[in-house]
Amino acid sequence: MKRFLVRTGMMLLVASLAAAQQPSPTPKSPELVLQVTTRMVLVDTVVLNRKGDPVKGLKADAFTLTEDGVRQRISSFSERTSEPAKPTPPPVLPPHVTTNRPVVTQTNAENATIAVLLLDGLNTPPQDQIYVKQQMLKFLARQYDPNTKLAVIALTNKLTVLQDFTQDPLLLRAALDRYLAETPALARSGGQIETQSASVPAPNVNLPAQATGGSTGSGSDPGLPATLAAGGSNASIFEDIAYMMDRFERESENFSRDIRISSTLSALEQIGRFISGQSGRKVLLWFSTGFPFSVVGDSPSSMETERNYGDQIRRTINLLNDAHVATYTIDAGGLVPSSLGDPSLSGRDSEGKVHLGIDANRALSSESFQRFSTHDALETIARDTGGRYFGNGNDLDHAVQAALRESSSYYMLGYYPTNKKWGGKFRQIKLQVERPGVQLRYRRGYFAVNPSDWRKDNGERTLTAALGANSLPSTEVTFMARALPPLPDSDTVVEFAVDPSTFSCETEAENHHHCTLQFEVQAFTPNGKLVKAEVQTADASLPKPTYERVSKQELPMNVPIRLAPGKYVLHLGVRDNLTGLFGTADLALEVPANRESKR
């Protein structure tokens, strides 16, 4: 890694880059600024009347906000309402220029309701995926609001953007027409997903003593063969084999579930970073049959591999909250009957009499718990991000309408917590409004994590991994970049211009501000092979005049990389080293083969 000190002379934009890019003014959205020394907590809030319509026109003094029971003073307050806007095509960037700035790549980004439609093929059976598609086509035909900017993303073993943000219902319909339901069988089978082991956090696994069998077992269990539980040379080899085969099958099933759930939560985090740069409150419409919050065993072979995914889910919720993404989880399975309604599975005989044995009781108990746990996970993610869970119903069209109607108007409140200790513990937020009969949707709290703690849990590799995995673009830190074809026998120079409202600075001393950014360039061939990577870190101690100049313009940085003649796709990334937030973008480049000097 190369390390550079950014000096005062570098604070001015490269004139040629500024002229070629002609960037729009840097957005001054307070949601994008994370102060390190004085940290503001922002809470987006939807206020609904008894009919489910947004309540407008409230003032700051109508709200009471507490954190862990202690009342907080509201320091910033604004009301946001989506406004009518005529759909227009996105602007065309100059050649060799790229950006991840929503205000550049999308028109009307500041006025419309921002929403993502997530079609979850990883956790949803094909027949339910088909039904979701039909319902969404119905929604576009009858109820679509042009004030909504909607993107369509499909999740299988990877995330695929079927349609980027648009207000055009014809484009959205074409994207849904292209969507084909996929079986989740491949995604549920262990080893079928290309996932680095380091990217799959290990779930909590409980190991009861009685599940170990043999002479070390502390007690008997009805599901454990008596001879195997007794241990010793008298144990039946056939019962041993049956037990171990059952255990192996459950281990394989649990491993597949670990991969599936970790991949799903990683996808939600990618979407959070993808829409983080959009202003204000965003909506994630997640159609899924979900996954369990935990897995509890009912036999020795299953008890050995009990799972709890609570920590992973809470981490994902925290990232979505930081990005102001309200998640509306919509059960794609609709009304699902219990197996008691199936004569072949309910324990009933041909005459309808119930004869429930221990196996049937266990199966029904396990089914009920898994259904409850699955719905609980979807409901928890929705509630804790300020959204809503739609379950036990088949009217998916109505669910989407309600979610978008709720999100068309909201309030943004900001406060500086009176508790200045950032020890990582969860802090509960509670909001009240002095108006009877209203309902509020808002984030239920946050983890008071010190921004500098982002390096824990292998955080240094997050940006590199995101660039290498060809993930969705991240807009936590936004920038523009340019890379011209190089002159003969010279490096390709990638010129960055970073938006100052999306990275943080610390107050070092009087009239001096310190910021530190990491810039990374990865060069890939068109078929996805990594050829070369360059990483540079810029540390800047800015006197007040320079800091004020940068705040009104952009922070420039040049990263050279030597490449052989050929076609490449450059994966570009910028990370704020004070907070760990980062942004990414791609740029196509061709290095000419003719290396002779021009005359």
CA atoms within 13 A on the CB side of 78: 12
Structure confidence at residue 508 as a pLDDT band (50, 70, 90): confident
pLDDT of residue 258: 84
Show the 3-state SS of 181-211: CCCCHHHHCCCCCCCCHHHCCCCEEECCHHH
Provide the 10 A C-beta neighbour count for residue 443.
25
CA atoms within 13 A on the CB side of 400: 27
Per the CB < 8 A criterion, the answer to whether 398 and 331 are in contact is no
C-alpha distances (whole Å) from 207 to each of 211, 366, 541 are: 7, 18, 52
SS3 (DSSP) at 459? helix
pLDDT averaged over every residue in the chain: 78
Structure confidence at residue 246 as a pLDDT band (50, 70, 90): low
CA atoms within 13 A on the CB side of 423: 5
Question: Which residue type does 61 have?
Answer: D
pTM of the complete model beyond 0.85: no
- pLDDT tens, 114-159? 999 999 999 888 888 999 999 999 888 876 777 888 999 999 888 9
- Beta bridge partner(s), residue 560: 493
Distance CA 220, CA 292 (A): 28
- pLDDT tens, 50-87? 999 999 999 999 999 999 999 999 999 999 988 766 66
Helix/strand/coil percentages in the chain, nearest 5: 30, 30, 40
Distance CA 555, CA 537 (A): 13
Q: Where are the domains of the chain?
A: 2-33+452-591, 113-215+236-405
Distance CA 36, CA 506 (A): 6
Distance CA 569, CA 430 (A): 47
Question: Which residue type does 382 have?
Answer: A
Cβ-count burial of 116 within 10 angstroms (0-12 exposed, 13-18 middle, 19+ buried)? Answer: buried
Structure confidence at residue 456 as a pLDDT band (50, 70, 90): confident
State how beta strands 148-155 and 445-447 pair. unpaired
527 CB contacts (<8 Å, ≥6 apart)?
A: none
Comparing CA positions, the residue from 369, 588, 409 lying closest to residue 494 is 588
Residue 568 has pLDDT above 60, yes or no: yes
What CATH number was assigned to the domain covering residues 113-215+236-405? 3.40.50.410
Q: Are 2-33+452-591 and 113-215+236-405 equal in CATH topology? A: no
Fold of 2-33+452-591: Immunoglobulin-like (2.60.40)
Per the CB < 8 A criterion, the answer to whether 266 and 158 are in contact is no
pLDDT of residue 557: 93
**DSSP 8-state code for residue 540:** E
Distance CA 462, CA 459 (A): 5
Per the CB < 8 A criterion, the answer to whether 252 and 235 are in contact is no
State how beta strands 388-390 and 325-331 pair. parallel
Residue 350 has pLDDT above 70, yes or no: no
